Amino acid sequence: MSVKPAAVYDPVAKAFHWGIALLVLIILVTAGFIETPQWLVDDQLRKTIFIIHKTAGFLVLPLTLARLVWRSVQIPPPLPIKKMPLWQVIAAIFTHRSLYVLSILTPLAGWALVSTTHKGLVLFGFIPMPSLPFLHPYMASIDIVRSFFASLHETFAILLASLIVIHIGASFMHHFVDRDDILLRIAPKGMEGFLKKIRGR
């Protein structure tokens, strides 16, 4: 007997999606403030922004891994491939996989970067995390190591932000142009009515 695939994402998968999406938004906004001039953001505020950025950034890593474990046991609804052109199916699969990969690599590169500083990674400003294996604060003086991880972290973050823009654009296209139910399948409970209303049912 075959099991009929689910029509919508289950509540846990939805919670992972929107929880991680919120964290990623916080990470990108706080990243934008890190390089701002001193007259705009004083040292105390910059320190707080850094704590929020590093903590939210780190949390994305275990949450994404847990999300992938959950995804492997709770199979998500399949893409409606018969109703989508082939290029859209390929683009959706590529984007989703890349979002997962970058949600792991970007925080890892950030953790590697702070592992080579004397401050290290301190969650919420008071929970110290160990350095990643093979990395140590004594490397703080080795410019090439620091700048390597800094460029890696920045490159992954730019790729992630660009894919998110494409991803959000695609989901709005599905909802408002194609008028299909792709966005509704993952929408938080209680938002379906609102989303249908702004689409005009």
What span, in angstroms and rounded, lies between the C-alpha atoms of 58 and 120?
12
What span, in angstroms and rounded, lies between the C-alpha atoms of 70 and 52?
26
Nearest distance from C-beta of residue 184 to ligand HEM, angstroms: 8
Count of residues in contact with ligand HEM, rule CB under 6 A? 19
Q: Which of 140/184 has CB closer to ligand HEM? A: 184
Query: What angle, 0 to 180 degrees and rounded to 10, lies between the N-to-C axes of helices 143-172 and 11-34?
Result: 130
The one among 48, 88, 117, 171 contacting ligand HEM by CB under 6 A: 171
Q: How big is the chain, counted in residues? A: 201
Is residue 100 at the binding interface for ligand HEM, with CB under 6 A as the rule? Answer: yes
Site for ligand HEM in 17-46 (CB under 6 A): 17, 20-21, 24
Nearest distance from C-beta of residue 121 to ligand HEM, angstroms: 20
In whole angstroms, how far apart are CA 106 and each of 46, 89, 113, 135, 172? 21, 25, 11, 17, 25
Which H/E stretch holds residue 188? none
Q: Which of 100/148 has CB closer to ligand HEM? A: 100
Quick check: 16 and 76 in contact, CB under 8 A? no
Q: Summarize as ranges the residues that interact with ligand HEM (CB under 6 A).
A: 17, 20-21, 24, 71, 76, 79, 96, 99-100, 103, 164, 167-168, 171, 182-183, 185-186
